Structure 1
Amino acid sequence: MLLSLSIKNYALIESLETDFSNQFSVITGETGAGKSILLGALGLVLGNRADLTSLKNKEQKCIIEAVFLLSNYNLQPFFQENDLDYEDKTIIRREILPSGKSRAFINDSPVNLQELQELGSYLLDIHSQHQTRELTEESYQLEIIDAVAENGVAILKYKSILTSFKAKQKELKQMIAEKVALEKEYEYNSFLLNELLSANLVDGEQELLEQELEQLSNVEFIKENFARILAVANEEQIGVIVNLKEMKLGLQKVMAFSPIYAQLQERLQSSFIEIEDIVNECEQNNDKIIADPERLELVNTKLQSIYNLLKKHQVGSIHELLLIQTELDNKVVKVDDLEIGIKNAEKELLVLKEEIDGIATNISKNRINAVPHLTKKIKEILSQLGMAEANFQFEITVSEDYFATGKDELNVLFSANKGTSFGALKKVASGGEMSRIMLAIKSILANYSKLPTIIFDEIDTGVSGEIAIKMGEIMKDMSKTMQVFAITHLPQIAAKGDSHYKVSKRSYGETTISELILLSTEERIQQIAEMLSGKEVSESALQHAKALLN
């Protein structure tokens, strides 16, 4: 419930502070006096976007502050989810700076516009003339039926499962598309994979095979040179080993005469051991090297296979070929994995479909059961508003498609007079009839909605006289369960308010300001009399105003 509103430096308002009652309040004033400014200010509190044109004085910031009583509306979860301090009397503040930047606060905690809009949707419904067009929209029509059918919990569950259902549908579609793409390449990928697997590739073997090929291709040359080395080393007369032994013997004989000779002997001994070891290894390698044409052919064939694969896949090493082999293996295996994944997703979708269809069926049944009650209530209220012969047909058909709130498609037909054929509501209802239908709808919803406050902005367009009185009575009746405001030009409605505020515009020198004043009883009589007869108030107008106020 809106307890108070404070506005500073907004449009034509320099400063305004007003408290509101929890009952039926009416707001009147001449056209252009500033009623729309009040709605604009409240719109900013509810999260509408702002710009510098909102500032009366462009050098100062604009501040709009609204205090709401939340104690009866179970809004603590919203505050917990958004990490905000909850207060029964919650203050929402909006600031527009001269720089054009905007700031919003809930109980002095900074919030973004999305959070502000979400909280605002729980607090206040501003119904302006253009919003009457919502009545012709299928989504709003279903929303009305759902309120009466008390489908709220079921629709929340439906939406949750629908989100999972659509996500799983998307996942399945992606897997099928991927499987189709992979299947197109499956045969080719399998061929490439088998080709690589049959090559029995080992990382690093190319270099070893190339070395082996060099050896096998030059066996005779290698053995000739080893033979020469061994001959030079082991020749009985002039061989290297024989000569080194003679040198060792000579140094052994003189090493006692000087430490230098001893060191030379040690160095020669080391050299002798190393050369002797080299000669032994040369003998071993010489024995190992034999001509093997079959092995030569095998190594050559394997290397040629490797070279062909490197060229085919445009890479430079076996390591890279092995990476390609792994990738191809994954692609080939993934086709089978995707097949399993697709079957599992289809099963999950079937389960979700059965669940969501069950909920949608219950929602549809509830809607069908609610329609007679809703139709009866609307007709009763419209009868009070001078539309005794008005009638509705709510045609609900179940679709195969899944919509935001179920599987139903709705067509609302309307007939204003007895004997006239039914037609689409938006085509056959006049503006005045739409206003009365919307008021009837809002009146019915007031018994189902937990919304604290509703503001009717000239919903009385196109009506007058006795009908206006009935509209005022309906709004007053609504105020028993919620806070109701009516911005009106009709004295019959203005007289029904528990509180009466007047918006006026005054000029001071070069500036113009708007004011909002709570009228006393006498001021109210005068205001309603002016609404009846104009500025020149007659005695009969005053008596009529008193009679309306009775």
Structure 2
Amino acid sequence: MLQELTIKNLAIIESLSLSFEEGMTVLTGETGAGKSIIIDALGLLVGGRGSSHFIRHGEDKLSLEGLFILADDNVVARKTLIDNGIDATDNMVVLERTVFKSGKNICRINGKLATTVLLRDVGSKLIDIHSQHEHQELMHDEFHLTLLDRYSGEAFQKPLQAYEKTFALYKKAQKEFRDFTKGEQELAQRLDMLQFQNQEIEAAHLQVGEEETLLAEKNILANFEKLNDNLNLAYNALQAESGGLSATSEAMRQIEAAKNVSHDFDTLHETIASSYYQLEDAAMQIRQALDQIEFQPEQLNQIENRLAEMNQLKRKYGKKVEDIMAYHVEIQDEIQKLANSEAHVGELSKNVEKLAHQVAEEASRLTALRKKAAKQLEAQIKTELGQLYMEKAIFEVHFSAKEEFSETGGDEVVFYMSTNPGEPAKPMTKIASGGELSRMMLALKTIFSKHQGITSIIFDEVDTGVSGRVAQAIAEKIYAVSVGSQVLCITHLPQVAAMADHHYYITKQVENERTSTNVKILKEDEKSLEISRMIAGTEVTELAKQHAEEMLSQASKAKSAK
């Protein structure tokens, strides 16, 4: 739902901020006051083609900002945002667009810079602008299948999801088959290369943890001289005539004598005695280490050669020994398959054939469900058109088979229609604009507004060319679309204005020789006066006022009955 709209320096609008609510909102006013400019602003905000010609005279740029509340069931818009790294966890979407005189555009979605393509993609999933000249999703053949699937309801979604999973497996199986059978010579070359790699890795007899052990041994051997010196010096420091053991022994002897005089020195004697025995043990361990270590240049050379061999394998097959060993297991499996390629090709072919049959079966099930839903849709559209006094109009859902299956199945779906008796139905996208097409589109909107996931629908003078009972029927249809959602409607029909929940009156004024647009939210008594003006024209008569009151009363009853 569109909640806030701010427009600055667009055509004759200098600065305008509007708040919108759920339900049906109409915008009325004299011709040229700026009603359509507000709709143009929304079109620009959701990615419409921008131009510096839109900028108010004398200004360097125009700016637009809109706050949308994301409907819970608008999963398509939410997915588009998530896929493009845009946060919408609070269900609020802020679109911003600035157009400069130079022609440069800056677009943002929730503060993140975006292209106009992404702005258009997101915007088309938030609002649907319908005018005599622009019919968005309903006027694009490629979207008709999606609309029919949404109309088909929850019962259709499970088989569709099941088909999508099967189709994904089928495409994967096809790729595996193609990759494996792309050429016998390539397969033979691949097998030779893998066998060489397998032999090279096997010959190395790699073991987990071996490299770490070798590096530790290499470090000892490479630093033999330094280590030997360290141990000798340490041993001499303890065992020399004036070394640590001798001095500690003397200290222990002296404290023992003191202990015989006073027991206050018992603990100190124990501490020194313990230190002495620990140092004596340490000296023994140093002596053993000195006896054990020896310079072994051949062993050092062997270790370095082994590490070099490992490094060479790592450069080819993995960063770590564990990676090389995992790769070894992988290529052994592929060697087995390649060595038995004929049998494996047969298995792959059978799998592709099996999945192709399954895809065809599930696609056929989808077609049957779609055709059933299409019959219901055709009947429902006929009822809607009858209520709009187009009893003889034709609406048909035409099916054709795709050349090959896709993610959506095997169906091409196009909506056909005929608005004149005796004329054959044609693709809806080929029908010329006019009052009859407006009614046809309104009938479709009445039904699809519940299935598109879009809760903001804009009608820009779609009631052109109608009057009388047809005008009343259109008014009631537009109101029906607004129930549970949001409709913004520019209208010149008093019947449509009378059905509105909210009425905005657009005027223009000249100040300091500049024209600007103003918007006023009408109160109940002001609504009656505006509808009187729409009925009577320039001069509002008492009869027109009475007619307006009666029209509002009838509208209230009609709304209560919905």
TM-score bracket relative to the smaller structure: 0.5 to 0.7
The residue that corresponds to 1:401 in the other structure is: 404
Q: Deviations 1:417-448 (Å, cap 9, x if unpaired)?
A: 77x47433557887322211211111111233
Give the Cα separation in 2 of the matches to 1:15 and 1:74: 31
User: 1:34 offset after TM fit, Å?
Assistant: 2.3
CA–CA separation in structure 2 for the residues paired with 1:461 and 1:339: 70
Say if 1:28 and 1:153 are closer, same or farther in 2 by CA, change over 3 A: farther
- 1:28-59, CA deviations, whole angstroms, 9 ceiling, x for partnerless residues? 23343323322222123223343433322565
How far apart in 2 are the matches of 1:350 and 1:472?
55
The change in CA–CA distance for 1:493 and 1:59 in structure 2 (over 3 A counts) is closer
- Show the 5 A alignment for 1:117-132: 117-132=120-135
Q: Distance in 1 between matches of 2:97 and 2:136?
A: 29
Which of 356, 370, 383 pairs up with 2:373?
A: 370
> Among 456, 471, 475, which residue is 2:478 paired with?
475
Paired positions, count: 401
Contact 1:52 1:58 in 2 (8 A): no
Note if contact 2:47-2:120 (Cα within 8 Å) is conserved in structure 1. yes
Answer yes or no: is the 8 Å Cα contact 1:104–1:116 preserved in 2.
yes
Alpha-carbon separation, structure 1, partners of 2:423 and 2:86: 55
- CA–CA distance in 2 between the matches of 1:441 and 1:340? 55
Asked if 1:529 corresponds to 2:532, the answer is yes
Report the CA distance between 1:402 and its aligned residue. 3.1
1:397–1:409 CA contact under 8 A, matched in 2: yes
**C-alpha displacement of 1:509:** 4.0
Would you say the 8 A contact 2:129–2:136 is kept in 1? no
After superposition, where does 1:148-159 map in structure 2 within 5 Å?
Answer: 148-150=151-153, 151=156
Give a deviation string over 1:98-145, Cα, whole Å, max 9, x none: 554332333333334344334323321112223349756543443442
The amino acid of 2:489's aligned partner reads A
TM-score (normalizing by structure 2): 0.61
Distance in 2, Cα, partners of 1:106 & 1:136? 26
SS at match of 1:131: coil
What secondary structure is seen at the aligned counterpart in 2 of 1:438? helix
| 1:318-467 to 2 correspondences below 5 Å | 346-347=349-350, 349-402=352-405, 405-410=408-413, 414=417, 420=422, 422-424=424-426, 426=428, 431-467=434-470
Distance 2:432 2:53 in 1: 37
Given the superposition, is the C-alpha separation of residues 501 and 171 from structure 1 closer, same or farther in structure 2, using an over 3 Å criterion? farther
Per-residue deviation, residues 7-38 of structure 1 (Å, max 9, x unmatched): 11222211001111211111123343323322
Task: Give the distance between the partners of 2:54 and 2:158, measured in 1 at CA.
Answer: 40
- The 1:464–1:373 alpha-carbon spacing in structure 2 relative to 1, beyond 3 Å, is same
Unaligned runs of 5+ in 2: 190-337, 554-562
User: Who is 2:34 aligned against?
Assistant: 34
Correspondence 1:70-89 to 2 at 5 A:
70=70, 72-73=72-73, 80-81=82-83, 82-84=85-87, 86-89=89-92
Q: Distance in 1 between matches of 2:349 and 2:44?
A: 47
Distance in 2 (CA, whole Å) between partners of 1:514 and 1:385 is: 34
Q: For 1:44 and 1:414, how far apart are their aligned partners in 2?
A: 30
Q: In the alignment, what sits opposite 1:66?
A: 66
Contact 2:16 2:518 in 1 (8 A): yes
Judge conservation of contact 1:128–1:456 (CA < 8 Å) in 2: yes
Once the 2 structures are TM-superposed, how far is the Cα of residue 456 of structure 1 from its aligned partner?
A: 1.4
Do the aligned residues in 1 keep the contact of 2:459 with 2:488 (CA within 8 Å)?
A: yes
In 1, Cα distance between the equivalents of 2:120 and 2:53?
A: 21
The residue that corresponds to 2:520 in the other structure is 517
Contact 2:45 2:95 in 1 (8 A): yes
User: CA distance change for structure 1 residues 497 and 342 in 2, over 3 Å: closer, same or farther?
Assistant: farther
Aligned to 2:22: 22
- Hey, what does 1:299 align to over in structure 2? none
Residue in 2 that maps onto 1:279? none
Q: Distance in 2 between matches of 1:100 and 1:388?
A: 48
Closer/same/farther in 2, CA of residues 351 and 167 from structure 1, 3 Å limit: same
Determine the C-alpha separation between the residues in 2 that align with 1:102 and 1:338: 57
Q: Is the 8 A contact 1:455 1:484 kept in 2?
A: yes
Identity %, equivalent residues: 35
Distance 1:508 1:341, change over 3 A: farther
Q: Tell me the CA shift for residue 380 of structure 1.
A: 1.5
Taking the aligned partners of 1:337 and 1:549, their CA distance within structure 2 comes to 83
Q: What is the match of residue 511 of structure 2?
A: 508
Residues 212-251 of structure 1 mapped to structure 2, 5 A cutoff: none
Match of 1:93 among 74, 91, 96: 96
Q: Which has the larger radius of gyration?
A: 1
- Structure 1 portions without partners, runs of 5+: 190-334
Distance change in 2, residues 1:50/1:360 (3 Å): same
Whether the aligned pair in 2 keeps the contact of 1:389 and 1:416 (CA below 8 Å) is yes
1:11 has 2:14 as partner: no
Query: Cα gap change, 1:130/1:160 in structure 2, threshold over 3 Å: closer, same or farther?
Result: farther
Q: Give the partner amino acid of 1:32.
A: G
Residues 478 and 348 of structure 1, relative CA distance in 2, 3 Å threshold: same
Shift of 1:546: 2.0
8 Å Cα contact 2:446-2:478 kept in structure 1: yes
The TM-score, its normalising length taken from structure 1, stands at: 0.62
With over 3 angstroms needed to count, the CA separation of the structure-2 counterparts of 1:165 and 1:508, relative to structure 1, is farther
